Chains A and B, each alone.
Chain A
Amino acid sequence: MNLNGQKKPQILLVDSAGPETDALLKALKKEGLDLHFNQDTQKAFEFCINRPPTMLIAELEMPLESGVQLIKRLKSNSTTRHISIMVTAKEAILEERLKSLQIGIDDYVSKPYYPEEVVARVESILQEIESIAETRSSGEHGFSGNLEEMNLVDLIQTLELGNKSGVIYLMRNSEEGRVYVEDGKVIDAQTDGIEPEQALTNMLTWLEGSFKVSLQLVDRVRMIKEANREILQNGTKLIHQWRQIANQLPPLTTVVRSIRNGEGGYVTKLEKELLSLFSEPNTILSGIESSKMDDLRALELVKSLLDKGLLIKEPSVHQANDPLAKNILERIQQERRRTESPYSRIASFFKRKSNAKIDLEVDRQKEPAAQVSDSRPQNKASVTKIKVPHRVRLTKGELLLIRQKILAN
């Protein structure tokens, strides 16, 4: 059974008639697929509306309307946007056309092709569709985990890679949020009483807590105007800034309090507002969450207030009196001292890599030789002359299939 409840997966091939198309039709029929063929993109579109196939194989160069246009129409229609799509075209134009297709396709094959190659790829995609359908029917609609392991940037990237639709639920401390993704694109975000764009910005820096991803159809008005690429770039930048500041602070679960309620000079309005949230002892994270400003700004201000001495750590009652607590704290301190060496060890890899980068720049000036010695070269001068250029021989689609296979093992 496929997603449409049919016994055989239904494939629609849109291409001009010819020997190559005939050979492909024959090879696909051999596999027992429910096969349909159309030379007219308009009729193909109508077919998809009336009877959405499991998968469409579309030639990009069609006489009346280009395959690109057909795919864009299908992807912008809620009835047909979930049809899996493979495109074919002559190699010379394929790359250029794929760039113009800012929408998800599942795979592509350049012409001339071996029909068996296309059939193999179609089968891979159908297997993936079947596996998703099985996951859905077995009640497993997604996945969950910790934000320490996968933050929102990672989650968006994961859904984008698979052009998946669903809702990402995030939980941090006392806060909850949702990010809505449609066909791999972020379209909306929600946390308590904040505009979608701001809610998304805040959640990008949630690096602790948990998440749950529910793969499902999402039918909402698009509230986030930014493209995924911009969101991810912004997210990476924000995370970097967040970590830079957080690394200079005590753990965000540390309880702090204000020593005065922002009265007096040298306190900005925003600082005063933040200080009021710590008039009673509160964790740094809870204070940030309660604040109306964006999380990163609030974190910056907390640092500033701690530096000024207007926020102080709340001494723990146990810390002073309980010998067991003292012992634990001492061990934590020891562990912190011990963990300084791992950083320096990783840093040594950075250093080595940066040296190697200089070598790489030198190599770019020279034609790389196609031969590599089996044993390690003895002197550096000979090393810099031999560098094998890297050419990935597999397509992005094939790499994604391998990735999926490894994760499914």
Chain B
Amino acid sequence: MEEYLHHETQRVGEIVIVGPPGSAKYEFINSLCKDVVITDQDVIFGRLPVGKDLLLFLYGVGYNGKNFDFAWDLIAPKMLGCIILFDWYNQQSYEGANKILDFLTQQFSAPLVLAADVRSNSYPIEECLFSAGITLSSHVRFLFYRSSDANGIRRAAVSLLDALIEAAS
């Protein structure tokens, strides 16, 4: 299994995708990686080889409204950042996203992207805002996306990477 994950010379980046139930985490990860498994602990794990020497791991983590069943102590110190998914039109999902945001901003300094899934509905606000996204702070970006649209999913992932690239510049 270890060999399957990566070998010693490979460099690994890790992104955590987190969201309340029904926030389409599997669809999100599956759209970015061909190689996706669900572990015994209900963590969705996606593996994206970027080159011979570089890998991206995506972890899909659920939040049941009380706690996370996830080994944050192992992942958090080296993760690139988190993407919080939630269903824009579902009040419970929205409240869950708020709690997750509280948890992550209080515990970690990593960049975060809040991705609001508008499903198949029309954009809730002007399309220019939908497309451009909003920078909430130096650490948090907000954007709308559709879980059924691979381009939107890519845009959300790229938004996190852009935050990291900007920080590295």
Contact = CB atoms under 8 A, between A and B. Distances in A.
A299 B66 CA distance: 50
A399 B70 contact: no
Given A353-B137, A396-B168, A406-B32, A383 B106 contact: yes
Contacts of B140: 349, 353
Contacts of B13: 393-394, 398-399, 402
Contact of A149 (B52, B56, B68, B131): B131
B19 to A, nearest CB: 15
A223 to B, nearest CB: 26
B98 to A, nearest CB: 6
Contacts of A396: 165, 168-169
Nearest to A339: B125
A346 B134 contact: yes
A401 B51 contact: yes
A140 to B, nearest CB: 17
B51 A123 contact: yes
Contacts, number: 177
A117 B9 contact: yes
B125 A388 contact: no
A406 B11 contact: no
A392 B137 contact: no
Nearest to A394: B13
Given A346-B142, A360-B109, A388-B107, A398 B165 contact: no
A350 B169 contact: no
Contacts of B162: 403
B114 A349 contact: yes
Interface string A358-394: 0110000000001111111100100110111111111
B1 interface: no
A81 to B, nearest CB: 21
A47 B52 CA distance: 30
Interface string B77-101: 1101100000010000010001101
A193 interface: no
A166 to B, nearest CB: 20
Interface string B93-125: 010001101110111111100100000000011
A39 B126 CA distance: 58
Interface string B36-67: 00000000000010111110100000000011
B103 A376 contact: yes
A372 B69 contact: no
Nearest to B162: A403
Contacts of B109: 360, 387-390
A342 B125 CA distance: 7
B167 interface: yes
A150 B131 CA distance: 8
Contacts of B67: 374-376
Contacts of B80: 392-394, 399
A123 B54 CA distance: 12
Interface string A196-209: 00000000000110
B101 A372 contact: no
Contact of B165 (A117, A372, A400): A400
Interface in B126-169: 126-128, 131-132, 134, 136-137, 139-140, 142, 150, 154, 157-158, 161-162, 164-165, 167-169
B71 interface: yes
Contact of B98 (A114, A207, A348): A348
Contacts of B66: 375-376
B72 interface: yes
B3 interface: no
Contacts of A372: 72-73, 76, 107-108
Nearest to A364: B109
A120 to B, nearest CB: 3
Interface in A1-59: none
A124 interface: yes
Given A148-B131, A343-B125, A394 B157 contact: no
A399 B168 contact: yes
Contact of B105 (A356, A389, A394, A407): A356
Interface of B: 9, 11, 13, 32, 48, 50-54, 56, 66-73, 76-78, 80-81, 88, 94, 98-99, 101-103, 105-111, 114, 124-128, 131-132, 134, 136-137, 139-140, 142, 150, 154, 157-158, 161-162, 164-165, 167-169
Given A154-B132, A372-B73, A405-B56, 11 more contacts: A124-B50, A127-B51, A148-B131, A149-B131, A360-B105, A373-B72, A374-B72, A389-B109, A390-B109, A393-B78, A394-B80
7 contacts: A117-B9, A352-B98, A359-B105, A372-B73, A388-B76, A392-B168, A399-B165
Interface of A: 114, 116-117, 120-121, 123-124, 127, 146, 148-151, 154, 161, 207-208, 339, 342-343, 345-346, 348-350, 352-354, 356-357, 359-360, 370-377, 380, 383-384, 386-396, 398-403, 405-407, 409
